């Protein structure tokens, strides 16, 4: 290993210049000696827990920004990944951290920290199943959203509401057609959708049943696919399409499907002439829109909690039983899951604020609890996922060498080729930036 390759180390993906690494290991030896005896023995009392003292520095114009980044990474709770220039990738627990800034020397900051071997806890403490907690809170949040809709819906003002709900069913049918799903699962979901459309007249008389049936169809989109994470696009499409005036236009006949052309002129006239009745119809449309938007984000959270996101990076044979590739799981990195979880949490915070303004206290409370569960699940599971790193070499090298240098395992070379779409994996030029995922 050259001198240049030993200069850099990283912790939690934050790189720094390494000065010294002072470590301790060995065995816990206990000598047994006795007075007035010529003989004794030494007892091997187990392994000394490996620990090191790491000294590093930040130099250059951005030295203080780099120092803050490394201190933030070192002070995060829990075990982390430490890339050692001599010993490779290790799972460690950070101990005491210290840093030093000297005014006499500009552009330089030094720091040191302790790292300990994580090991295995012989008496582990019970941990909460964060994914199951997300599913539990999602069910409660959906019940709260359904209850709020039932309280605000006026059964005497259903003119145009049937067309609005029917339009929602058509949108869901459109969004699910492109999903990589097994035919039997998609057929079962479509049959349920058709039965709901046929019984729409009866559902309008019972707002609670209407909410449970329509939003149950939306939530069950994740059951159409083998990997629930693939349903997130459907929920996002529903949210984008109904986050406007679509509900109001549907009940007033303003959508293109309600416009009739006669004598060369297109017109769309509301079927309700009474202003009071028309306002009640618009209020029903507004309540249904809030129900859709609330249910879409709740379904996103439920899909994330229901997904098995652990995908091995080592190349192995994979049997695909369907032409659509429905069995394939989405390979997520820790950064991607964190981004998805934070987006869901931010949207839940916005909808909670809207619920407060409307006076829906139960929705606000349940969305707040769901947001906390999503953030906790994101923190817990993102730490267990592979992390993404950008590699840019200084010389031309094959993918196998890059896989060995970055992950310590050449078996991950095919995952690097697939992720980056490399046409010539034997010659990676210095001008190419490669995304490498490592555990």
pLDDT above 90 (res 189):
no
| Residue 371: inside a domain | yes
pLDDT at 367 over 50: yes
Residue 142: inside a domain, yes or no?
Answer: yes
58 in any annotated domain: yes
Max CA distance (Å), the chain? 122
Helix (H) or strand (E) holding 302: helix 275-306
The pLDDT score that the predictor gives to residue 71 is 93
Residue whose tokens read 């236009």: 249
Backbone angles phi, psi at 75, to 5 degrees: -95, 5
Taking residue 388's Cβ as centre, other Cβ atoms within 10 Å add up to 16
Strands (E) across 48-153 are located at 51-59, 80-84, 88-101, 108-117
Task: Mean pLDDT check: name the lowest of 137-146, 203-212, 271-280.
Answer: 271-280
Read off the pLDDT of each residue in 94-109 and give the average, rounded to a whole number: 91
DSSP 330: P
Question: Is the domain of 247 the same as that of 363?
Answer: yes
More confidently predicted of 431 and 354:
354
Domain that holds residue 276: 130-261+268-382
Whether residues 213 and 110 fall in one domain: no
**pLDDT confidence band for 224 (50 / 70 / 90):** confident
Phi and psi torsions of 390, nearest 5°: -90, 125
How many of the other CB atoms lie within 10 Å of CB of 83? 19
Residues 109 and 145 in one domain: no
CB-CB contact of 142 with 298 (8 Å):
yes
pLDDT at 124: 54
Q: Are residues 181 and 314 in the same domain?
A: yes
pLDDT in tens, 107-151: 899 999 999 988 766 555 445 578 888 889 999 999 999 999 998
DSSP 199-246: THHHHTT-HHHHHHHHHHHHHGGGGTSSSGGGGHHHHHHHHHHHSSSH
Query: Is it the case that residue 427 has pLDDT exceeding 90?
Result: no
Mean pLDDT confidence for 215-231: 80
Instruction: Answer yes or no: do 377 and 393 share one domain.
Output: no
Same domain as 287, residue 176: yes
pLDDT range class, residue 312, cuts 50, 70, 90: low
Instruction: Render pLDDT for 29-79 as a digit per residue (tens, 0 to 9).
Output: 988 888 888 888 888 888 888 899 999 999 988 999 999 999 999 998 888
Decide if 247 is inside a domain. yes
Given 52, 86, 117, which residue is the final one in a domain?
117
Answer yes or no: pTM beyond 0.85.
no
125, part of any domain: no
The β-bridge partners of 27 are: 47
Backbone phi, then psi, for 400, in 5-degree steps? -60, -40
Same domain membership, residue 305 and residue 218: yes
Phi and psi torsions of 253, nearest 5°: 80, 25
Query: Residue 290 above 70 pLDDT?
Result: yes
The answer on 391 and 378 residing in a single domain is no
User: What residues does 31 pair with on adjacent strands?
Assistant: 42
């Amino acid at each position: 290993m050259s001198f240049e390759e030993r200069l850099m180390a990283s912790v939690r993906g934050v790189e720094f210049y390494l000065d010294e690494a002072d470590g301790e290991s060995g065995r816990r030896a206990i000598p047994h000696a006795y007075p007035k005896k010529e003989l004794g023995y030494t007892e091997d009392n187990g392994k000394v827990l490996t620990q090191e003292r790491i000294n590093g520095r930040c130099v250059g114009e951005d030295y203080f920004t780099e120092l803050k980044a490394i201190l933030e990474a070192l002070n995060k709770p829990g075990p982390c990944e430490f890339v050692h220039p001599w010993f490779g990738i290790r799972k460690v627990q950070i101990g005491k951290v210290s840093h030093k800034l000297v005014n006499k020397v500009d552009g330089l900051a030094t720091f040191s920290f302790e790292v300990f071997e994580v090991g295995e806890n012989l008496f582990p403490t019970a941990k909460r199943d964060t994914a199951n907690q997300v599913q539990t809170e999602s069910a409660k949040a959906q019940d709260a959203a359904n209850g709020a809709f039932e309280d605000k819906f006026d059964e005497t003002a259903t003119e145009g509401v049937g067309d609005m709900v029917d339009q929602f069913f058509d949108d869901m049918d459109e969004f699910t057609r492109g999903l990589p799903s097994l035919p039997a699962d998609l057929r079962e979901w479509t049959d349920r959708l058709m039965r709901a459309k046929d019984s729409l007249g009866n559902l309008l008389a019972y707002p609670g049943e209407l909410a449970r049936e329509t939003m149950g169809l939306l939530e069950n989109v994740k059951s159409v696919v083998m990997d629930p994470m693939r349903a997130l696009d459907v929920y996002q499409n529903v949210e984008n399409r109904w986050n406007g005036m679509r509900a109001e236009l549907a009940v007033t006949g303003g959508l293109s499907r309600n416009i009739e052309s006669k004598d060369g002129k297109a017109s769309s006239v509301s079927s309700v002439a009474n202003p009071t009745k028309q306002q009640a119809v618009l209020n029903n449309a507004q309540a249904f829109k809030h129900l859709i938007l609330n249910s879409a984000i709740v379904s996103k959270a439920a899909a994330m909690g229901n997904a098995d996101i652990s995908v091995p990076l080592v190349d192995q044979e994979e049997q695909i039983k369907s032409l659509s590739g429905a069995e394939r799981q989405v390979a997520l990195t820790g950064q991607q899951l964190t981004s998805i979880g934070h987006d869901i949490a931010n949207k839940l915070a916005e909808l909670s604020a809207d619920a407060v303004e409307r006076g829906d206290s139960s929705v606000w409370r349940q969305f707040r609890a769901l947001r906390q569960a999503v953030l906790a699940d994101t923190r817990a599971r993102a730490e267990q996922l592979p992390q993404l790193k950008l590699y840019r070499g200084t010389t031309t090298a094959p993918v196998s060498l890059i896989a060995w240098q970055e992950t310590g395992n050449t078996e991950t070379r095919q995952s690097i080729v697939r992720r980056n779409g490399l046409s010539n994996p034997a010659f990676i030029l210095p001008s190419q930036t490669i995304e490498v995922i490592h555990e």
